[in-house]
Amino acid sequence: MRRWPFQLSAAELRSAFTEALDPQLAANHVIYMAGYQDAIRRLAAELHCDATEAAVLAHRNGADPAGYAKRLLARTVTSEMLVDAGFATPGTFTLAEQEQATGITQREIIRLETLAESLIKEADDPREWFSAVRDALRAGIGRGAVGVKTICAYRATLKLQPVDTDALGVAFSALRLRAERDEHPRLSGNALCHALLFEAAQECRELDVPLQVHCGFGDPDEDLAEVSPLGLRLLFIDPTYRGLRVALLHCYPYHREAAYLCSVFPDVYMDLSLTIPFAGLEGGRAMSEALGLCPTSKLLYASDASRYPEVFFVAAAAHREALAGALGELVDRGIMDTASAVSAGRQVLADNARRVYNLKD
């Protein structure tokens, strides 16, 4: 999270509720998105101010920063946060600072590609590089991290192919050269990204921690046509990865496909973060659709929030509402009784994550 105190502009708040990178969206269009309108309404109701962006910003910028942040976070009823540390910048809290500032236990998720880029310079060939990455993953988990996240979707297709060793060698050399020249060795392309993902998958399996895979929509650096979770099939059917827990993040508009994967592969899980709260009422629809094939023991809550308490708050509120709506529909139709629905809600909001991430109470 961004280190408080800070003031928030309209452009910043809008940018926090869109995956767009082009500032024209925040300038001209985000205020016409149902997800943002919903966010403003939820914040205003919590802050007892007018349901306008201006009123919300005035209120938050006039409030005591720490008190304000903790108030919104308290409303999310979060006992532990699993944090992708790959977003860290000089302006954000370290995990230790964040734990102290929020009073909420923080657990690290290691971002695979960031870690791997930092290790390219020391390696002479892909084998050495992968070995270093796996050592670093092991060390990270040993230090308390609870999972690994891949953003392969932003760097390559998610239609995974077996590694092409020749292409891997060539791509590695090119990347290594960049690193030697002190240029940023940005990982991209199928050869490097898929080989890395496969190595990480094996290591996660051995370490008994889940691998999170960004799939479905995100910012326009990714090609949405290439990021269906169905492309990950190799991870699910190759005995090499047997027992690996995979958490599919976001998924929309491939959430029906993700739910199918959850229904037939024992160690596949999914969440609907980003869809909720960015996509307005589609969040609730995606939840209902996912609960067609996805067992409630396989759906995870996630906020995908990173910088602002506002997003944590809105994501948590919208997610609970979407979940209540989807489970309520099952109760109304006589498929679940109320006790089962309450229990299913607990699975999604806490129990499943505790089990998948081996979290101790």
Examine residue 236 and tell whether it contacts its own copies (CB under 8 A): yes
C-alpha 220/C-alpha 126 separation (Å) is 29
Using rule CB under 8 A, residue 130 touches its own copies = no
State in angstroms the smallest separation of the CB of 344 from its own copies. Answer: 7
292 binds its own copies (CB under 8 A): yes
Block residue for tokens 């998924």: 251
Question: Burial of 37 by CB count in 10 Å (0-12 exposed, 13-18 middle, 19+ buried)?
Answer: middle
Considering only 53-61, 130-138, 161-169, 223-231, which stretch makes contact with its own copies by CB under 8 A?
223-231
* Contact track, its own copies, 8-27, x by CB under 8 A: ----------xxxxx-xx--
Task: Kindly report the number of other CB atoms within 10 A of residue 91's CB atom.
Answer: 10
Nearest residue (CB) to its own copies, 38 versus 199: 38
Instruction: Give the C-alpha separation, 253 to 193, whole Å.
Output: 23
Residue among 174, 237, 240, 346 that touches its own copies (CB under 8 A): 237
Rounded to 10°, the helix 165-180/190-207 angle is: 100
Going residue by residue from 159 to 198, which x/- string records binding to its own copies, judged by CB under 8 A? x---------------------------------------
Burial class for 89, CB neighbours closer than 10 Å (0-12, 13-18, 19+): exposed
Nearest to its own copies of 67, 266 (CB atom): 266
In the block, tokens 């006039």 appear at 62
Interface pick for its own copies out of 225, 239, 360, 361 (rule CB under 8 A): 225
Q: Residues 298-333, buried b or exposed e (16+ Cβ, 10 A)?
A: bbbbbbbbbbbbbbbbbbbbbbbbbbeebbebbbee
Shortest distance, position 223 Cβ to its own copies, whole Å: 6
**Angstrom distances, CA of residue 314 to CA of 12, 196, 233, 261, 303:** 15, 34, 33, 28, 9
Residue 32 touching its own copies (CB under 8 A):
yes
Beta partners for residue 269, in sequence order: 247
State which H helix or E strand residue 97 sits in. Answer: helix 95-102
- Binding of its own copies at residue 303 (CB under 8 A)? no
- By CB under 8 A, residue 129 contacts its own copies: no
Whose CA is closest to 193, among 224, 219, 232, 220? Answer: 232
Rule CB under 8 A: is residue 77 a binding residue for its own copies? Answer: no
Site string for its own copies, 246-285 (x = CB under 8 A): ------xx--xx--xx-xxxx-----------xxxxxx-x
Nearest approach, Cβ of 25 to its own copies (angstroms)? 6
Closest CB to its own copies among 217 and 357?
Answer: 217
Distance CA(119)–CA(45), nearest Å, equals 47
Comparing CB distances to its own copies, the nearer of 35 and 309 is: 35
Binding site for its own copies (CB under 8 A): 18-22, 24-25, 28-35, 37-38, 41, 51, 159, 217, 219-220, 223-225, 228, 230-231, 233, 236-237, 252-253, 256-257, 260-261, 263-266, 278-283, 285, 288-289, 291-298, 329-330, 333-337, 340, 344, 347
